[in-house]
Homo-oligomer: A and B are copies of this chain.
Amino acid sequence: MGSLSRNSFSPLEPNSFTDESKAVIDFIADYYTNIEKYPVQSQVNPGYLSTQLPDTAPYSNDSLENILKDVSDSILPGLTHWQSPNFFGYFQANASTAGFLGEMLCSGLNVVGFNWISSPAATELESIVMDWMGKMLKLPSSFVFWNRDKALEKLGGYENITKLVIYASDQTHFTLQTASKLIGIPPSNFRSLSTSFSTEFSLSPEALRVAIEDDIKSGLVPLYLCATVGTTAAGAVDPIEELGKIAREYKLWFHIDAAYAGSACICPEFRNYLDGVELADSISMNPHKWFLTNMECCCLWIRQPSSLTDSLSTHSEIMRNSVSESNRVIDYKDWQIALSRRFRALKLWVVIRKHGLAKLMYHIRSDVNMAKRFEAMVRKDKRFEIVVPRKFALVCFRLKPKNESNGSELNSKLIDAVNSSGRAFITHAVVGGVYVIRCAIGSTLTEERHVDDLWKLIQEKAQILLLQAANCNCTCQ
């Protein structure tokens, strides 16, 4: 029987850890340096990777050199480069050196913070950083509660789950419907209220009130309202204050989804979009979108945390300890479904410390200014039109079709032409029945010149499409 010591196998030995980690740092830095050389959208075909990698795990260990060569040869070609300065699709996923450093610290320390005692700093830094973010957003310092379990208790049991109703606009992120279904609300009880150009795709308080009254008359129980600050499709903002008053009147849980535009609200000139937030029961935002924080990071504030912990607390013997029983500490395991929890706050803390509020505001404003610049260029070209008024750093526009029924085909062709060039990446949405091109500005490396290049590229591809249409005998244009 051989030695049981780690001498022959040291998977976490500090010297090789240092050397190999630094080699990966060089690899990533090199990737950033050359990032503009890659086609932004991956050009591979489905199934490409299985032709390049073995179909079973290797029996023997391999060198980092070989692994990095495979990343270069096989993985990079299959990436759509979200960190490219020419990435303008969906919403950006803002990386930064600070976010990366925070992620490394979290991963390197690799502690688990499911309860206070399992790593007190993980719990306490999370509370502190969430307070910092809350203050930057000028959120109220206290909150009230009502939820599914309380509602069901009131109604007399889980069989009444079919009476509960959820309200949101048709612009609300589609994951809310999945989440509602998950917790047992029948999809037929999800009210996706129509929006239109007339309100710039914001949820109408009148429409909400009518829907609630109708449901009450039908014997249903209004449970939850989700309002959005910066919708996915067009960056619309729901009227928080008016919606909040209705939510209070009918005792609905009122959630604000500020995933995208919440970051902008640290700037005084955007904070008005959160007016009325004191009426909300909860609000969330994603620093991994527009706050220089590498994936993944989501902030959720709850007015009364007991609303969450009453439903999610668990009292497992294995977790028992005197500090938890003293009620002097938070155990974040009681705020979530899973038990495991990384030291999540470290990354956001480093981002905030390393940039400071001033530079974070500069970052937001710089993106918004580039979006204004892009918008102005679109407006100057009569072949195009801005479809939805811009509020943040997302511009929704389109190439005007001669025949409205072809707007979708024409603009979809334009997007394909841009994306298949590899020089930039843009995506689409449909709002009010109109197919629009979305230019979401916010990749960390994007500068004015990239925005100018994007516009030139779009004009060039549009010119070709329009010429083709002019030479064509059909009625498409």
Q: Which residues of B contact A428 (CB under 8 A)?
A: 317-318, 320
Q: With the chains together, A353 CA to B74 CA distance in Å?
A: 14
Q: Per-residue CB proximity of A95-107 to B under 8 Å, as 1/0?
A: 1111111011101
> A83, B109: Cβ atoms under 8 Å?
yes
A341 CB, min distance to chain B CBs, angstroms: 8
In the complex, are the beta carbons of A50 and B124 less than 8 A apart?
A: yes
Knowing A80-B111, A314-B175 are in contact, say whether A121-B49 is a contact too (CB < 8 A): yes
Asked, given contacts A116-B46, A288-B340, whether A18 binds B9 with beta carbons under 8 Å apart, the answer is no
Q: Is the CB of B9 within 8 A of A95?
A: no
For chain A residues 266-324, which have a beta carbon within 8 Å of chain B? 286, 288, 292, 294-296, 311-312, 314, 316-318, 320, 323
* A311:B181 contact, CB within 8 angstroms: yes
Known: A28-B17, A111-B82, A121-B42. A90 touches B318 (CB 8 A): yes
| Copies of this protein chain in the complex | 2
Structural contact, B337 and A78, CB atoms closer than 8 A: no
Contacts of A26 in B (CB 8 A): 18
A125 to chain B: closest CB distance in Å?
A: 6
**B104 contacts A46, CB within 8 Å?**
no
Q: Is there an interface contact between A121 and B9, defined as CB atoms closer than 8 Å?
A: no
Contacts of A96 in B (CB 8 A): 11-12
Q: State which residues 33-64 of A face B: CB under 8 Å.
A: 33, 41-42, 44, 46-50, 53, 55-62, 64
Option from B83, B122, B232, B314 in Cβ contact (under 8 Å) with A174: B314
A391 at the interface (CB under 8 A from B): no
- In the complex, the answer to whether A184 meets B183 with C-beta atoms within 8 Å is yes
> In this assembly, does A67 line the interface, its C-beta being within 8 Å of a C-beta of chain B?
yes
For residue A314, which residues in chain B have a CB less than 8 angstroms away from its CB? 174-175, 177-178
A241 within 8 A of B: no
The stretch of A217-225, A362-370, A461-469 in contact with B is A362-370
User: In the complex the two chains form, is A355's CB within 8 Å of B28's CB?
Assistant: no
Nearest CB on B from A351, distance (A): 9
In the assembled complex, the Cα of A416 lies from the Cα of B132 at a distance in Å of 35
Let me know if A337 and B178 touch, CB within 8 A. yes
Cα-based distance from A55 to B124 in the complex (angstroms): 12
Are B60 and A358 within 8 A (Cβ)? yes
A79 within 8 A of B: yes
Please state if A317 and B95 are interface contacts (CB–CB under 8 Å): no
A104 partner residues in chain B, CB cutoff 8 A = 21, 24-25, 28, 100, 103-104, 107
Is the contact region of chain A dominated by helix, strand, or loop, or is it mixed?
helix
A108 contacts B31, C-beta separation under 8 Å: yes
- Answer yes or no: A215 CB below 8 A from chain B CBs: no
List A97-147 residues whose CB lies under 8 Å from chain B.
97-101, 103-105, 107-112, 116-122, 124-125, 127-128, 131-133, 135-136
A151 is an interface residue with CB less than 8 A from chain B:
no
Question: Which residue of the partner chain B has the closest CB to A316?
Answer: B174
The CA-CA distance from A353 to B127 in the complex, in Å, is 38
How far is A356 from B57 in the complex, measured between Cα atoms in Å? 7
A226 to chain B, nearest CB (A): 15
B318/A429 in contact, CB under 8 A: yes
Task: Establish whether residues B9 and A363, one from each chain, have CB atoms under 8 Å apart when the complex forms.
Answer: yes
- B370:A294 contact, CB within 8 angstroms: no
One of B59, B67, B79, B232 near A121 (C-beta < 8 A): B79
In whole angstroms, what is the CA distance A338 to B96 when docked? 23
Contacts of A50 in B (CB 8 A): 124, 127-128
A20 contacts B by Cβ under 8 Å = yes
Q: Which residues of B contact A121 (CB under 8 A)?
A: 42, 44, 49, 74-79
Complex contact A78–B119 (CB within 8 A): yes
Q: With CB as the reference atom, state the residue of chain B lying closest to A114.
A: B90
Residue A4 lies at the interface, judged by CB distance under 8 Å to chain B: yes
Pick the 7 closest A-B CB pairs, nearest first.
A184-B184, A78-B121, A28-B108, A49-B124, A57-B132, A11-B96, A95-B110
Q: Can you name 23 A-B pairs with beta carbons within 8 Å? A: A4-B366, A9-B362, A9-B366, A11-B363, A13-B97, A17-B32, A24-B105, A31-B109, A50-B128, A59-B356, A60-B359, A75-B121, A78-B121, A79-B111, A79-B121, A80-B119, A90-B118, A100-B104, A107-B107, A182-B337, A183-B183, A233-B318, A317-B429
